Structure 1
Amino acid sequence: MEGLFRKGVKIGIYGSSFDPITNVHLWTASTVAHRKKLDFIIFLPSSTKRRDKLMQTEDTHRIKMAGFAIEKNEKFILDDYEMNVLPGEHYTYYTMEYFKDILPNAEIFFIMGADLLVDIGAGQWTKAEELISNNKFIVMARDNIDLLGTIAKSPLLRNYDDGRFQMLDKGLAMEISSTYIREEFARGGEPRYLLPDSCYQYIKEHHLYKTQRS
């Protein structure tokens, strides 16, 4: 998309397992784009090669479902970058460096939930300081997490609290998770209206989530 390369464009990187992508993912991305005046949101499905996440479905299925889900929104873009890098290079720091390199004219933000900010502040992410010191973030509120307190309690976060953390409270508690949807499919439930219809049909057609991995 040509607009990605124009000077001053604002882009959010939205990484997740998307296993499967849900209506809440789409609503969240739309809300962030609207509130923070972003021009584009890049959806970045995590690879099964990652060591910190256990995916329920293969990369190809999750990529296809994400593509179906966002195809009618011109602000939403799908990128399979993480599917193509070597194991050990899936850390968010490297991902952000990649996008800054290919989109040098853009202002780029990493979109994440407050729970992830807590983990980063506690030193649980690889190359955490490099990630924090070199990037900007849009942090979505989560119930029972004090965002300002999280920053204040972490030496890493508070020493980079110069405006790079943009807080966003969606104003509506919509927290239906991919885990919940997988569980419903595995138990013969009916989560049809929690995810895009094209994705629901794809899951049924390919018999996904019939069982839950432990």
Structure 2
Amino acid sequence: MAKIGIYGSSFDPITNVHLWTASTVAHRCKLDKVILLPCSSKRKDKRLKTEDEHRWNMLQLAIEDDSRFVADDHEMKQDAWNIYTYDTMVHFKKKYPIDEVYFIMGADLLVDIAKGEWAKGRELVSENKFIVMAREGVDMLSTISRSAILRNNDDGSTFHLVDKGLAMEISSTYIREEFAVGGEPKYLLPTSCYDYIKKHGLYS
């Protein structure tokens, strides 16, 4: 039985922090595989700057040398944004029926679930396991204990709390902004992705 983490983001573009986070989680939580899951471009809560083709190509370039990482376009290819994280986890648990599947998220999203801001949040928490990455200003244990949804579905193994030990919050937004004004974010993302962005004139 393998241990698999599902790591979703817009990856617009993928950054070295995305990769460092995935690597840290894989190492600390003894994951056999991390599935990087680019979100649908049809999400109402995100305004993506890049065509799906480019996001997908950069993701493939970024992970080609690490056998632990796998890209999956399950959410990207949805016809409309009518799928929730709960449904995504149902999909992957069916795809990997004999494995342990974890949803990887930041502590800020844990707060949102606690506030009831996620569709099917109660079902999501009651039926899945999570790897939660620390975020500055968020007390993960306190967040769980203050939320009836979270604390009543925590059997001691529901939430694996991880502090990376180093605050690196370089965002895709920052990188896009740097490219847009002629900045130099070269060492904030994989060299192959930097070269791809330059070649295709993305974010300018």
Q: Same fold (TM over 0.5)?
A: yes
* TM-score bracket for this pair, using the shorter chain length: over 0.9
> Which residue does the alignment assign to 1:150?
143
1:102-181 alignment, distance < 5 Å:
102-162=95-155, 163-181=157-175
Q: Which moved more, 1:127-136 or 1:47-56?
A: 47-56
Identity %: 65
Q: Equivalent of 1:16, from 5, 9, 22?
A: 9
Equivalent residue letter for 2:131: I
1:67-86 alignment, distance < 5 Å:
67-86=60-79
Distance in 1, Cα, partners of 2:43 & 2:128: 22
Distance in 2, Cα, partners of 1:83 & 1:173: 29
**Which TM-score applies when normalising by structure 1?**
0.93
Does the CA contact (< 8 Å) of 1:50 and 1:90 recur in 2? no
> Which residue does the alignment assign to 2:39?
46
Aligned residues: 203
Cα drift, residue 59 of structure 1: 1.1
Distance in 2, Cα, partners of 1:193 & 1:151: 36
Find the residue that maps to 1:82 and give its secondary structure: coil
Runs of 4 or more consecutive aligned structure 1 residues displaced over 2 Å after TM superposition? none
Find the residue that maps to 1:89 and give its secondary structure: coil
**Which TM-score applies when normalising by structure 2?**
0.97
Distance in 1, Cα, partners of 2:182 & 2:173: 14
Cα drift, residue 56 of structure 1: 1.1
Does the CA contact (< 8 Å) of 1:42 and 1:79 recur in 2? yes
Q: Structure 1 stretches of 5 or more lacking a match?
A: 1-7
Does the CA contact (< 8 Å) of 1:19 and 1:57 recur in 2? yes
Q: CA offsets, 1:81-112, max 9 Å, x none?
A: 01222324331111100000111011000000
> Which residue does the alignment assign to 2:28?
35
Q: CA offsets, 1:145-164, max 9 Å, x none?
A: 00011111211111112120
Equivalent residue letter for 1:100: K
Does the CA contact (< 8 Å) of 2:40 and 2:81 recur in 1? no
Distance in 1, Cα, partners of 2:47 & 2:194: 21
> Which residue does the alignment assign to 2:200?
206
Distance in 1, Cα, partners of 2:202 & 2:188: 16
Distance in 1, Cα, partners of 2:124 & 2:80: 18
Q: Structure 2 stretches of 5 or more lacking a match?
A: none
Does the CA contact (< 8 Å) of 2:4 and 2:31 recur in 1? yes
> Which residue does the alignment assign to 1:4?
none
Distance in 2, Cα, partners of 1:75 & 1:105: 18
